[in-house]
Chains A and B, each alone.
Chain A
Amino acid sequence: MNGFAAYMSRKLVRLALLVVMASMLAFTLVANSPIDPVTAYLGIDRMQISQEQEQLIAERWGLHKPAPERYLLWAKNALSGDLGQSLAYNEPVATVIAKRFTTSLWLMASAWLLSGIIGFALGVLAGLYNGSWLDRCIRLYAYTLAATPTFWMGLVLLACFSVALGWTPICCATPPGVSLEEATLWERISHLLLPAATLSIIGIAQIALHTREKMIDAMHSDYALFAMAQGESRVGVALRHALRNIALPAVTLQFASLGELFGGSVLAEQVFSYPGLGRATVEAGIRGDVPLLLGIALFSTLFVFTGNAIADLLYRSLDPRIRIGAQEAS
């Protein structure tokens, strides 16, 4: 247990460093971008606003102070739990992220599950029938998908299923006139179908190809050969022996892919007008909304880090060899 505590504290230190670096980098990038938040905020109203008023806006947002001072002020507030006020949404950053992420969570969770389950199944099949036409089809499919940009895939799906066939809704998280609270489960799911399919597509290819490799290895391992020598069928070996061994890498990979899931949701949400965190990120970028961008950068750092940490922990708890190995090494 002592080893576990040390392991966790090492992780936490690393997380703290990561958060500091990520926020500094994000701040430097935004502060040096040519976007002027006040101009972005005013837009066409520019001609109706006097110079004094513009000054007032800059002061409300604290833009009149030099950049390092602004960062330190932000960091001080962030440490006490206050992430500041979003310029674009005129709301506390934490509230914006919480609201938007609950919407995104539906999308990301369903995409994550879909890609995990389908990807794993395809990988197992391809590995089991290595070299067959089925394997070749699955590989072709996976390579094609791996090379497909998310947004393009989204547009194709949209054009086919929503515009031409009319089976799925065109946009948004709920039907027009129905709020999130009023929407039935089916309404929500039907609005999730296409974006989730789009988003899961990258994940499927990755999981499938990795699982396939592991499956081929497992089928050629000593224990598999031994089982087959005793008269066990290929499918039997796969189900009873190989599956458990290849599940772990797949699960790890799945948790480690949260970063790609986050990035992919920005594109998918844009295509489907899905009002989640991805769209808020784009808006924050366009409007030069520094507090919101920093908040999202922090949040996504935590999100991805958590994914990777879970993958590590799973390995440790599911595969005793790693724990024993770590103890022997220390």
Chain B
Amino acid sequence: MLHKCHLSKSCFSLCVLTLLLGLVFLAAPQAQARDTLYLAIKGEPSDGYDPTLGWGRYGSPLFQSTLLRRDANLDIVKELATDYRLSEDALVWAVTIRDDAKFSDGKPLTAEDVAYTFNTAAQSGGKVDLAKMDKAVATGRHTVEFRLRERDSNFINRLVSLGIVPRHLHGPGYARNPVGSGPYMMANWTEGQQMVAVANPYYYGETPHFKKLVFLFTDEDTSFAAARAGKVQVVVVPQYLAVQKLPGMKLHPVKSVDNRGLLFPMVPNEGKKTATGAPIGNNVTSDIAIRKAINIAIDRKALAEAILEGYGRPAYGVCDGLPWDNPANKIEDGNLDKARAILAKAGWKDTDGDGVVEKDGVCAEFTMVYPADRAIRQGLALACADMIKPLGIHAEVLGKSWDEIKPMMHSSVVVFGWGSHDPIEMYHLYSSSHAGEGWNNPGFYRNLAVDEHLEAALSAPEYKAALENWKKAQWDGTTGANTHGDAPWAWLVNLDHTYFVNEHLDIGTSQIEPHGHGWPITANIQQWKWVN
């Protein structure tokens, strides 16, 4: 009896304690002011917020505004520009800008500022590639001309991504005290920890709903713990954590072209080496039958389900779903019989019964490397090795650091990840003029027809015309860089970026996000709203 009483007493106090704790947790999210948002979406730019060095390439530069931008469907729409035209010879872009734009210090934004921004970015040696621009010239107070050295249809992506800085304030300290014409202005930045932005009173567009944004630059685990405690309203989590439940938050998965794929060395090993002494070529993967068989044997849906917990979709190219993606890239995969038939037709047979096929004395074996600190790539590498094993192809899977992978990548299969809102990426991956040049085209892929399409795309008179050529480089009906063509890659999956968002927060429709570490989710931040 006594024992029971004692027990119920402790039970009672436990209940009270739980209740109290519960109250604390419930009260926390509601106590937050509705005009301040806390975001833990990583991506602190340690070198500051200077667009001329590359800040704001992903999503929006937040503090600055761009001439053009991409909407939710990734179509190009006007932002600062009210009109833009390309000359007949495709060498001069003439842009007219709006006359009501002001910087957050109240000074008007003029064509001089635009020209200054582009000229400075071209020379600053940052992440903005303007090597093809000769110079930018302000031809009037609101008109500016960009003169190119050679035709470059891709130049429009700079108009989309380069934020305009004020000429009168730009200098060495600017990156830490950015001033621009974007919806927000910086209030405070504690490096390595957080950045606070407040609404810009001089913003020409619709005033954003949230007056204050606090970006936390915490580690994955810390961010997750903070979200669990109701301290943040937007948090990005790795896919394997997306299956969890967070109190008061809903999952917001965003499609991306953040892809993963297997790179194949395309030339046989003839003992050649690069200038830095890295061996070139692989006698197994240089056989198109091997590459095609692997492409067809891999079950991409299963990879997305098993390794990304379903937060991903099959990848058939480097730019799935982007305006320059060729829908013909899609293949029917997970088909072992078809893959076996391809190998058999090419002469790959297991004659000694060891489970590995051979051809002309060469065993179908290769090394597959991935960066050792990336769990998803490790999972993909191991799963792919398993999936191609029944074909009689043996992949030895190794985790290495990027610095170790660099000398191996011309002779081994590598799990790479790319994906960008800029089609130039395709040029660097597939063009033979870049073969073996650093991380560009490490497999020494060479196809003259593809090269022609790529060059045509770059020198196309305008962006829309270039799209057709970008597509043709992937597959023009007879040849190309996709699986139907030369299959220089086996693209595997596109990740979904998984965010948890407070259930009262409406963040509209998100773009297909690129690979990378910026804040693409904030591209439409003006439309974010708090709903009760």
Contact B231 A47, beta carbon cutoff 8 Å: no
Which residues does chain A contribute within 8 Å of B417, judged by CB atoms? 44
- With the chains together, A52 CA to B231 CA distance in Å? 45
Which residues does chain B contribute within 8 Å of A180, judged by CB atoms? 190
The answer to whether A176 and B57 touch (CB under 8 A), given A50-B129, A89-B47, A170-B225, is: no
Choose from B129, B131, B196 the contact partner of A179 (Cβ within 8 Å).
B196
Which residues does chain B contribute within 8 Å of A48, judged by CB atoms? 127, 129, 420, 422, 424-425, 428
In the complex formed, the residue of B with least CB distance to A35 is: B403
In the complex formed, the residue of A with least CB distance to B437 is: A51
Cβ of B452 under 8 Å from chain A: no
Which residues does chain A contribute within 8 Å of B232, judged by CB atoms? 176
Contact A47 B429, beta carbon cutoff 8 Å: yes
The 0/1 profile, CB within 8 Å of B marked 1, for residues 163-189 of chain A is 100100011111011011000000000
Contact A176 B194, beta carbon cutoff 8 Å: yes
Contact A89 B46, beta carbon cutoff 8 Å: yes
Q: Which size class do B's interface residues fall under?
A: 35 or more
In the complex formed, the residue of A with least CB distance to B192 is: A275
Cβ of B271 under 8 Å from chain A: no
Considering the complex, which residues of chain B in the window 394-410 have a beta carbon less than 8 Å from any beta carbon of chain A? 402-404, 406
Which residues does chain B contribute within 8 Å of A50, judged by CB atoms? 129, 131, 428
Of B3-11, B79-87, B212-220, B331-339, which binds chain A?
Answer: B212-220
A81 CB → nearest B CB, Å: 17
Which residues does chain A contribute within 8 Å of B53, judged by CB atoms? 90
A186 CB → nearest B CB, Å: 18
The answer to whether A273 and B193 touch (CB under 8 A), given A47-B439, A166-B229, A176-B38, is: yes
- With the chains together, A174 CA to B176 CA distance in Å? 20
Contact B196 A273, beta carbon cutoff 8 Å: no
Contact A171 B219, beta carbon cutoff 8 Å: yes
Cβ of A49 under 8 Å from chain B: yes
Contact B403 A57, beta carbon cutoff 8 Å: no
User: What is the interface size of chain A, counting residues whose CB is below 8 A from a CB of the partner?
Assistant: 46
Contact B219 A273, beta carbon cutoff 8 Å: yes
Which residues does chain A contribute within 8 Å of B434, judged by CB atoms? 51
The answer to whether A176 and B216 touch (CB under 8 A), given A45-B127, A47-B429, is: yes
Output the residue of A35, A45, A179, A283 with the most chain B CB within 10 A.
A45
Choose from B175, B193, B515 the contact partner of A90 (Cβ within 8 Å).
B175
Cβ of A12 under 8 Å from chain B: no
Which label, helix, strand, loop or mixed, suits the secondary structure of the B interface? loop
A282 CB → nearest B CB, Å: 10
Cβ of A321 under 8 Å from chain B: no
A1 CB → nearest B CB, Å: 46
Cβ of B347 under 8 Å from chain A: no
- With the chains together, A172 CA to B190 CA distance in Å? 10
A260 CB → nearest B CB, Å: 23
Cβ of A156 under 8 Å from chain B: no
Contact A47 B214, beta carbon cutoff 8 Å: no
B385 CB → nearest A CB, Å: 25
Considering the complex, which residues of chain A in the window 267-283 have a beta carbon less than 8 Å from any beta carbon of chain B? 273, 275-276, 279-280, 283
Cβ of B418 under 8 Å from chain A: yes
Cβ of B188 under 8 Å from chain A: yes
Choose from B123, B214, B218 the contact partner of A273 (Cβ within 8 Å).
B218
Considering the complex, which residues of chain A in the window 39-75 have a beta carbon less than 8 Å from any beta carbon of chain B? 39, 41-54, 56-57, 59-61
Which residues does chain B contribute within 8 Å of A163, judged by CB atoms? 225
A36 CB → nearest B CB, Å: 8
Cβ of B120 under 8 Å from chain A: no
The 0/1 profile, CB within 8 Å of A marked 1, for residues 466-482 of chain B is 00000000000000000
Contact A176 B176, beta carbon cutoff 8 Å: no
B39 CB → nearest A CB, Å: 10
Which residues does chain A contribute within 8 Å of B130, judged by CB atoms? 53
The answer to whether A99 and B191 touch (CB under 8 A), given A49-B129, A176-B38, is: yes
Cβ of B508 under 8 Å from chain A: no
B409 CB → nearest A CB, Å: 12
Considering the complex, which residues of chain A in the window 14-41 have a beta carbon less than 8 Å from any beta carbon of chain B? 34-36, 39, 41
Cβ of B138 under 8 Å from chain A: no
In the complex formed, the residue of A with least CB distance to B132 is: A50
Cβ of A319 under 8 Å from chain B: no
Cβ of A88 under 8 Å from chain B: yes
Choose from B131, B192, B438 the contact partner of A52 (Cβ within 8 Å).
B131
Contact A177 B214, beta carbon cutoff 8 Å: yes
Considering the complex, which residues of chain A in the window 244-298 have a beta carbon less than 8 Å from any beta carbon of chain B? 273, 275-276, 279-280, 283
Output the residue of A34, A41, A47, A56 with the most chain B CB within 10 A.
A47
Contact A279 B420, beta carbon cutoff 8 Å: no
- With the chains together, A174 CA to B126 CA distance in Å? 32
Cβ of A91 under 8 Å from chain B: yes
Which residues does chain A contribute within 8 Å of B194, judged by CB atoms? 172, 174, 176-177
- With the chains together, A43 CA to B515 CA distance in Å? 11
Cβ of B516 under 8 Å from chain A: yes
The 0/1 profile, CB within 8 Å of A marked 1, for residues 247-267 of chain B is 000000000000000000000
Contact B193 A172, beta carbon cutoff 8 Å: yes
Contact B438 A46, beta carbon cutoff 8 Å: yes
In the complex formed, the residue of A with least CB distance to B45 is: A90
Cβ of B440 under 8 Å from chain A: yes
Which residues does chain B contribute within 8 Å of A177, judged by CB atoms? 36, 38, 194, 196, 212, 214
A284 CB → nearest B CB, Å: 10
Choose from B190, B222, B402, B420 the contact partner of A275 (Cβ within 8 Å).
B190
Considering the complex, which residues of chain B in the window 181-234 have a beta carbon less than 8 Å from any beta carbon of chain A? 188, 190-194, 196, 212, 214, 216, 218-219, 222, 225-226, 229, 231-232
Contact B440 A47, beta carbon cutoff 8 Å: yes
Contact B47 A275, beta carbon cutoff 8 Å: no
In the complex formed, the residue of A with least CB distance to B127 is: A45
B519 CB → nearest A CB, Å: 14
Contact B402 A39, beta carbon cutoff 8 Å: yes
Which residues does chain B contribute within 8 Å of A41, judged by CB atoms? 127
In the complex formed, the residue of A with least CB distance to B157 is: A48
Choose from B128, B226, B425 the contact partner of A170 (Cβ within 8 Å).
B226
Contact B420 A51, beta carbon cutoff 8 Å: no
Which residues does chain A contribute within 8 Å of B488, judged by CB atoms? none
Cβ of B48 under 8 Å from chain A: yes
A159 CB → nearest B CB, Å: 10
Cβ of B312 under 8 Å from chain A: no
- With the chains together, A172 CA to B192 CA distance in Å? 8
Contact A170 B175, beta carbon cutoff 8 Å: no
Contact A176 B129, beta carbon cutoff 8 Å: no
Q: List 28 A-B contacts (CB under 8 A).
A: A39-B439, A44-B417, A44-B418, A44-B420, A44-B515, A45-B54, A45-B57, A46-B428, A47-B424, A47-B429, A48-B420, A48-B424, A50-B131, A50-B428, A52-B131, A53-B125, A54-B438, A61-B125, A88-B46, A89-B191, A90-B53, A166-B229, A170-B218, A170-B225, A172-B216, A174-B193, A176-B38, A273-B193
Residues of chain A at the chain B interface (Cβ within 8 Å): 34-36, 39, 41-54, 56-57, 59-61, 88-91, 99, 162-163, 166, 170-174, 176-177, 179-180, 273, 275-276, 279-280, 283
Closest 4 CB pairs of A and B: A275-B192, A60-B125, A90-B47, A34-B403
9 extra interface residue pairs, beta carbon distance < 8 Å, beyond A60-B124, A177-B214: A34-B406, A43-B516, A43-B517, A44-B417, A45-B57, A57-B125, A90-B50, A173-B193, A273-B192
